[in-house]
């Protein structure tokens, strides 16, 4: 399995290297779909230029990175840009994580089969090693050859770094290393607050791995939860304090986290925030900012309850929700959750509108630059055109995610109740949500 | 050797005119020297009979420009040796305007400079103005170092001034106020260099009109009396003028050369450029009456000096005046014909003065090219990014000099300092000093100050990229597609003087005085303002707030709804719903208390 992965990595790096040297390398970093004020490479360079002038990079409203990560990266003068390395790292981490996860899934399925827990007509839902064999490679391929990832990489967006950190976090969680998992989760949170919601699935997975049931009465549950929380909060504290000591001011808190949460920059992007808050009535602004931000974090609790047996799927759901509802989304965020889609290959038969959704997503991706050009350069369209596409794009993403969620729940239902359900009178039944 | 006369002869004169010039007297008058009082006035060295603590001077300078236009500059100077800031409250005002005096004492102002300008001064056609100012309104204030809350005082001051001058100075807030570190030094006494007490703001969109003149007039001791009346008719012609500016400068200056006591000085100036071609039907002739619809009849009785200067020698002047004056203004030696309005003889027998200028030749001769000149424009297309180009011309043939460039750019054009390039003559010209303050959204503008050395006879280009922000819909001006104004850049420099450049100037002074070319005139301070910029920003659709709120909330609700649906419901086998007849029958049966079907 190492050889195809190596081949894939070589192909991916070659594509990126070629694009870096083409004329597209100047065009792509200006695209609002690819870079946001949070992760634009231009702004990182600007922050370093400000440091050179003796001005704190957080004195202005251009630089919104947490410093210690991006500063050493810029000074590395290697021929391979850090964003390429980050992409490769993400792909390898995802590959290993999914491989390990598949092993766990397969083992569990084996135990269930041996215990004869599955109904007899569910045999066609059982996953076979043959179809699972190529899934890790497909995941890596989905990440590396996804045009969204490539664009984001060529734009040198620091989004690739965030993705790498999250991928490493997933890998460490799957491998069961709770300390490393907590550290990488803290790092991801420190970069952009939203991965905070991944705390719950990671905890659930680690508990499951240690065979500790989620039970409020059990002291072992509480012991491990406290342990993991302390590791997480401790490393987060260390990181925050480190950045304080680097610049000896707390300016970065408001400049990074305040910027993410209060959405002052309304530069168009593929998300829902920019036009909504550009058009918002002033006295409702705070209310709606609270509503929209709570919306991102809110799904954690019900999803964790519903999916407490399936933490990796929960991670996928959370990443997808973050990338749809976060304040400054870019295509790089979407690429991360899309990489997981091959891992849910077996849900394919239960997906309801995958064709429609994929067509809409493709059409929107093509229409983004077209309508942007019409609005900004040609002047023959206005902002509503671009806004309409962002709406459609987000609806498609929501449908995609909820479709996968539906399919996952339905498969679980079939695994307990049998695939071919019968009504009381013996005729074939249809399954509905009630 | 014949020039070694005790009386300096006018240079560049025709021999035929020499006879006429013989009658003229020369007067040693410094026009632009603030601390030097003309001879005709009481000098501080000779104590006046009644020690007047305040005095008032007025003058009008008329300068025909090389483009054929007429530049008229009214200047009124009030001086008062009082102390607004210390000790007892000043309550008795004579010549100094009370409204301004109260402002100075209330806000502990050290210096106050306001200018309102309509139109743009065309430096390349008209030469340097006496007092440069940017289009729109400009205000800069030095506060006393006793002021603790400078921002609060500044905010209050702008609101008060807004009322006094009938201008929208109340639009000055933290988003267009900066504290330049080097470009604006106090002009009067006080060697403070702590920029914390300086505030500078420009409103490039401010439109100056006649409504700003009424308060301006009220600050003058003579009010609408002579010869200010001239001005008022000038004001009626504001519409036909090409450039028009009002300014007030208040500062504390030395009373005499030893600086033993200080006086407060208020200078009010009004500068107008009249388009001669449109009003004169193409004839190159100009008179006071034609331009102002009246003549001068008397001086302001309160004025200790009241003069009219006419610049240049390329025209015939009638009535002729016996007084001539030479002065070095902005590095250029000029000869002025002087009319002293305090002298009754000036008005002649008709008791009115109507100056008539008639050009001698069709060509108005060579104009001295301004040594320093600035231009600015926005490059790029589309509404996403752009680039500001500032061009600085050094037209001096062999002398390089440093200039300070001050740029204030509003926050909604996000500047990228790492894209800053300074090139002159095709080579990189690294600024020796950069002071950059990045903007904060909705809080403060970008401030960039640079010290750049301009090589001789060169154009220096400063470029910087910016990104246009999308604003909230309420932050746009009522006419958003008109664009947003960006205030002028300010170029401040010590420019080598033309007099020093002119090697012939040594002919006129004694040889022993010119081993080193006139040092005191070798360079002069100059400030040049570039054009303001008009930049378009992307706009949202202003008619859409309800639609956008509804549509976006719908999408969020779709997300919430579909997840909620999956989270709260469970899968169940669908049972066929009973038919309508059966349901009706069941209802009736339930009412009757009979078991259901």
Structure tokens at B20: 């006429």
| CB contact (8 A) between residue B555 and residue A48 | no
Q: Does the beta carbon of B434 lie under 8 angstroms from any beta carbon of chain A?
A: yes
Residues 338-377 of B with CB under 8 A from A: none
* Chain B: residue whose CA lies nearest to A52: B418
| CB contact (8 A) between residue B569 and residue A433 | yes
Stated as kind and residue range, the H or E segment containing B334 is strand B332-340
Q: Does the beta carbon of B597 lie under 8 angstroms from any beta carbon of chain A?
A: no
Q: Where are the alpha helices (DSSP H) in B200-339?
A: 213-218, 228-236, 276-279, 288-292
Structure tokens at A368: 């983004």
- Extended strands (E) in A86-138: none
Residue B319: the pLDDT is 78
pLDDT exceeds 90 at position A359: yes
How do residues B483-513 score in pLDDT, each as one tens digit? Answer: 999 999 999 998 887 665 555 544 555 666 5
The predicted complex's ipTM stands at 0.94
Q: Which of A331-340, B46-55, B77-86, B344-353 has the lowest mean pLDDT?
A: B46-55
In chain B, what percentage of residues exceed pLDDT 90? Answer: 31
How do residues B420-434 score in pLDDT, each as one tens digit? Answer: 999 999 999 999 999
How do residues A277-333 score in pLDDT, each as one tens digit? Answer: 999 999 999 999 999 999 999 999 999 999 999 999 999 999 999 999 999 999 999
Residues 525-554 of B with CB under 8 A from A: 538-541, 544-545, 548-549, 551-552
Rounded mean pLDDT of chain B?
Answer: 78
Q: Does the beta carbon of B574 lie under 8 angstroms from any beta carbon of chain A?
A: yes
- The answer to whether the peptide bond before residue B319 is cis (omega within 30 degrees of 0) is yes
User: Under a CB-based contact definition with an 8 Å cutoff, are residues A147 and A334 in contact?
Assistant: no
Q: Which residues of B touch A55 (CB under 8 A)?
A: 436-438
Residue A244: the pLDDT is 87
Structure tokens at B495: 């420019």
How do residues A79-114 score in pLDDT, each as one tens digit? Answer: 567 888 899 999 999 999 999 999 999 999 999 999
pLDDT exceeds 70 at position B46: no
Q: Which residues of A touch B441 (CB under 8 A)?
A: 61, 264-265
Q: Where are the alpha helices (DSSP H) in B390-482?
A: none
- How far does chain A reach from its first CA to its final CA, in angstroms? 44
pLDDT band at B39 (very low <50, low <70, confident <90, very high): very low
| CB contact (8 A) between residue B439 and residue A61 | yes
Residue B41: the pLDDT is 36
CA distance A336 to A320: 8
Q: For residue B593, give the DSSP letter.
A: T
Structure tokens at B193: 């260099």
**Sheet containing B401-409: order of strands:** B433-437, B446-454, B401-409, B490-496, B523-529
User: From the CB of residue B569, how many other CB atoms can be counted at a distance below 10 Å?
Assistant: 12
Distance from CA of A9 to the nearest CA of B (A): 34
How do residues B256-297 score in pLDDT, each as one tens digit? Answer: 555 666 788 888 888 888 776 655 555 667 777 777 777 777
pLDDT exceeds 60 at position B227: no
pLDDT exceeds 90 at position A422: no
Structure tokens at B506: 């040594």
Partner residue opposite B555 with nearest CB, options A59, A272, A410: A272
Which residues touch B346 (CB under 8 Å, ≥6 apart)?
B321, B339, B340, B353
Calculate mean pLDDT across residues A398-422.
Answer: 91
Look at the block and give the residue holding tokens 């008022």. B232
Partner residue opposite B558 with nearest CB, options A306, A395, A422: A395
pLDDT exceeds 70 at position B236: no
Q: Where are the alpha helices (DSSP H) in B133-221?
A: 150-165, 213-218
Q: For residue A156, give the DSSP letter.
A: T
pLDDT exceeds 80 at position B91: no
SS3 content of chain B, % helix, strand, coil (to 5): 20, 35, 45
Q: Which residue has the higher pLDDT, A250 or B559?
A: B559
How do residues A183-218 score in pLDDT, each as one tens digit? Answer: 999 999 998 899 999 999 999 999 999 998 888 888
Positive or negative CA dihedral for A245, A246, A249, A252? negative
User: Under a CB-based contact definition with an 8 Å cutoff, are residues A277 and A288 in contact?
Assistant: yes
Residue B285: the pLDDT is 75
Distance from CA of A243 to the nearest CA of B (A): 21
pLDDT band at B17 (very low <50, low <70, confident <90, very high): very low
CA distance B329 to B489: 23
* Chain B: residue whose CA lies nearest to A377: B382
Phi, psi at B75, each rounded to 5°:
-135, 135
How do residues B245-263 score in pLDDT, each as one tens digit? Answer: 667 676 666 555 556 667 8
Rounded mean pLDDT of chain A?
Answer: 91
CA distance A97 to A93: 6
pLDDT band at A172 (very low <50, low <70, confident <90, very high): very high
Residue B18: the pLDDT is 40
* Chain B: residue whose CA lies nearest to A411: B571
Phi, psi at A120, each rounded to 5°:
-65, -35
- Label each residue of A5-36 as H, E or C: HHHHHHHHHHHHHHHHHCCHHHHHHHCCCCCC
Give me the residues paired with residue A217 across strands.
none
Q: Which residues of B touch A48 (CB under 8 A)?
A: 418
CB pairs under 8 A between A and B: 168
Residue B20: the pLDDT is 39
Structure tokens at B505: 């100037």
Residue B3: the pLDDT is 36
Q: Which residue has the higher pLDDT, B127 or B415?
A: B415
Residue B41 burial (CB < 10 Å; 0-12/13-18/19+)? middle
CA distance A331 to A397: 12
Q: What is the pTM of this model?
A: 0.86
Distance from CA of A100 to the nearest CA of B (A): 28
Query: What b/e sequence results for B532-568 when a residue is b if at least 16 CB atoms lie within 10 Å of its CB, and e otherwise?
Result: bbebbbbbbbeebbeebbebbbebbebbbebbeebbe
CA distance A39 to A156: 9
Distance from CA of A116 to the nearest CA of B (A): 22
Residue A82: the pLDDT is 81
Q: Which residues of B touch A265 (CB under 8 A)?
A: 441, 469
User: From the CB of residue A301, how many other CB atoms can be counted at a distance below 10 Å?
Assistant: 12
Q: Does the beta carbon of B163 lie under 8 angstroms from any beta carbon of chain A?
A: no
């Amino acid at each position: 399995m190492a050889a195809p992965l190596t081949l894939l990595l070589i192909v991916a790096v070659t594509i990126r290297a070629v694009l870096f040297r083409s004329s597209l390398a100047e065009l792509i970093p200006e695209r609002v779909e690819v870079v946001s004020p949070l992760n634009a490479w231009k702004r990182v360079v600007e922050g370093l230029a400000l440091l050179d002038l003796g001005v704190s990079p957080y004195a202005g409203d251009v630089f919104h990175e947490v410093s210690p990560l991006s500063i050493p990266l810029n000074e590395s003068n290697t021929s391979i840009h850090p964003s390429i390395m980050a992409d490769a790292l993400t792909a390898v981490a995802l590959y290993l994580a999914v491989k390990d996860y598949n092993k766990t899934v397969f083992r569990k399925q084996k135990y269930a089969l041996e215990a004869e827990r599955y109904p007899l007509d569910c045999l066609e839902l059982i996953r076979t090693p043959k179809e699972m064999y190529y899934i890790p490679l497909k995941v890596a391929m989905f990440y590396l050859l996804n045009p969204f990832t490539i664009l984001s990489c060529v734009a040198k967006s620091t989004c690739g770094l965030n993705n790498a950190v999250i991928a490493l976090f997933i890998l460490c969680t799957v491998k069961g290393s709770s300390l490393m998992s907590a550290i990488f989760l803290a790092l991801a949170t420190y970069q952009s607050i939203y991965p905070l919601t991944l705390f719950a699935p990671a905890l659930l997975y680690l508990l499951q791995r240690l065979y500790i049931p989620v039970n409020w009465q059990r002291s072992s549950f509480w012991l491990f939860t406290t342990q993991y929380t302390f590791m997480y909060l401790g490393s987060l504290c260390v990181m925050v304090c480190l950045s304080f000591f680097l610049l000896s001011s707390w300016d970065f808190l408001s400049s990074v986290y305040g910027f993410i949460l209060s959405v002052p920059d309304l530069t168009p992007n593929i998300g829902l925030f920019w036009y909504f808050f550009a058009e918002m009535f002033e006295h409702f602004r705070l209310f709606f900012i609270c509503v929209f931000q709570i919306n991102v974090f809110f799904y954690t609790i019900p999803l964790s309850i519903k999916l407490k047996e399936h933490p990796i799927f929960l991670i996928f759901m959370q990443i997808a929700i973050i990338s749809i509802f976060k304040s400054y989304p870019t295509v790089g965020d979407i690429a991360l959750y899309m990489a997981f889609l091959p891992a849910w290959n077996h849900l394919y038969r239960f997906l309801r509108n995958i064709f429609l959704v994929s067509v809409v997503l493709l059409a929107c991706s093509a229409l983004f630059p077209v309508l942007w050009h019409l609005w900004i350069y040609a002047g023959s369209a206005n902002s509503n055109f671009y806004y309409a596409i962002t709406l459609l794009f987000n609806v498609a993403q929501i449908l995609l995610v909820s479709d996968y969620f539906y399919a996952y729940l339905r498969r679980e239902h079939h695994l307990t109740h049998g695939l071919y359900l019968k009504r009381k009178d013996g005729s074939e039944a249809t399954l509905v949500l009630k | 050797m014949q020039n070694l006369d005790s009386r300096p002869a006018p240079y560049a004169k025709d021999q035929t005119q020499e006879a006429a010039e013989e009658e003229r007297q020369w007067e040693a008058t410094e026009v632009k020297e603030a601390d030097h009082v003309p001879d005709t006035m009481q000098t501080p060295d000779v104590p006046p009979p009644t020690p007047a603590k305040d005095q008032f001077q007025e003058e009008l300078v008329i300068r025909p420009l090389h483009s054929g236009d007429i530049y008229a500059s009214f200047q009124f100077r009030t001086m008062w040796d009082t102390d607004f800031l210390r000790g007892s409250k000043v309550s008795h005002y004579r010549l100094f305007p009370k409204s301004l005096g109260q402002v100075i004492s209330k806000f502990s102002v050290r210096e106050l400079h306001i200018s309102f300008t309509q139109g743009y001064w065309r430096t390349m056609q008209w030469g340097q103005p006496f007092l440069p100012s940017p289009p729109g309104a400009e205000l800069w204030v030095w506060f006393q170092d006793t002021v603790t809350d400078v921002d609060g005082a500044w905010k209050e001051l702008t609101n008060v001034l807004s009322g006094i001058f009938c201008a929208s100075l109340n639009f000055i807030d933290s988003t267009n106020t900066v504290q330049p570190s080097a470009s604006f030094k106090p002009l009067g006494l006080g060697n403070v260099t702590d920029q914390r007490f300086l505030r500078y703001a420009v409103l490039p969109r401010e439109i100056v009109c006649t409504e700003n003149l009424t308060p301006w007039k009220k600050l003058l001791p003579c009010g609408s009396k002579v010869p200010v009346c001239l001005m008022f008719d000038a004001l009626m012609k504001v519409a036909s003028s090409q450039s028009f500016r009002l300014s007030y400068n208040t500062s504390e200056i030395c009373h005499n050369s030893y600086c033993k006591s200080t006086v407060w000085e208020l200078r009010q100036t009004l500068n107008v450029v009249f388009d001669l071609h449109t009003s004169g039907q193409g004839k190159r002739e100009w008179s006071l009456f034609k331009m102002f619809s009246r003549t001068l009849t008397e001086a302001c009785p309160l004025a200790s000096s009241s003069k009219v200067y006419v610049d240049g020698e390329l025209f015939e002047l009638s009535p002729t005046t016996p007084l001539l004056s030479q002065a070095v203004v902005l590095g250029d030696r000029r000869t002025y014909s002087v009319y002293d309005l305090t002298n009754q003889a000036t008005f002649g027998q008709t008791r009115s003065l109507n100056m008539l200028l008639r050009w001698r030749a069709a060509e108005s001769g060579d104009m001295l090219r301004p040594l320093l000149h600035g231009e600015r424009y926005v490059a790029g297309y589309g509404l996403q990014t752009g680039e500001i180009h500032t061009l600085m011309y050094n037209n001096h043939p062999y002398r390089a000099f440093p200039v300070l460039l001050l740029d204030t750019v509003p926050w909604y054009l996000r500047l990228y300092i790492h894209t800053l390039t300074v090139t002159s003559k095709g080579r990189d010209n690294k600024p020796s000093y950069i002071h950059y303050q990045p903007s904060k959204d909705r809080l403060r503008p970008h401030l960039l100050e640079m010290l750049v050395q301009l090589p001789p006879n060169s154009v220096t280009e400063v470029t910087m990229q910016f990104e246009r922000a999308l604003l909230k819909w309420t932050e746009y001006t009522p006419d958003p597609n008109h664009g947003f104004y960006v205030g002028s850049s300010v170029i401040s420099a010590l420019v080598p003087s033309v007099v020093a450049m002119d090697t012939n100037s040594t002919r006129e002074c004694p040889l022993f005085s010119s081993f080193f070319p006139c040092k005191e005139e070798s360079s002069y301070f100059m400030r040049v303002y570039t054009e303001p910029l008009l930049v378009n920003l992307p706009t949202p659709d202003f008619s859409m707030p309800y639609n956008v709120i509804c549509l976006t909330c719908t999408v969020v609700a779709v997300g919430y709804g579909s997840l909620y649906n999956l989270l709260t419901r469970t899968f169940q086998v669908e049972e066929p719903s009973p038919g309508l007849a059966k349901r009706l029958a069941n209802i009736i049966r339930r009412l009757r208390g009979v078991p259901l079907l």
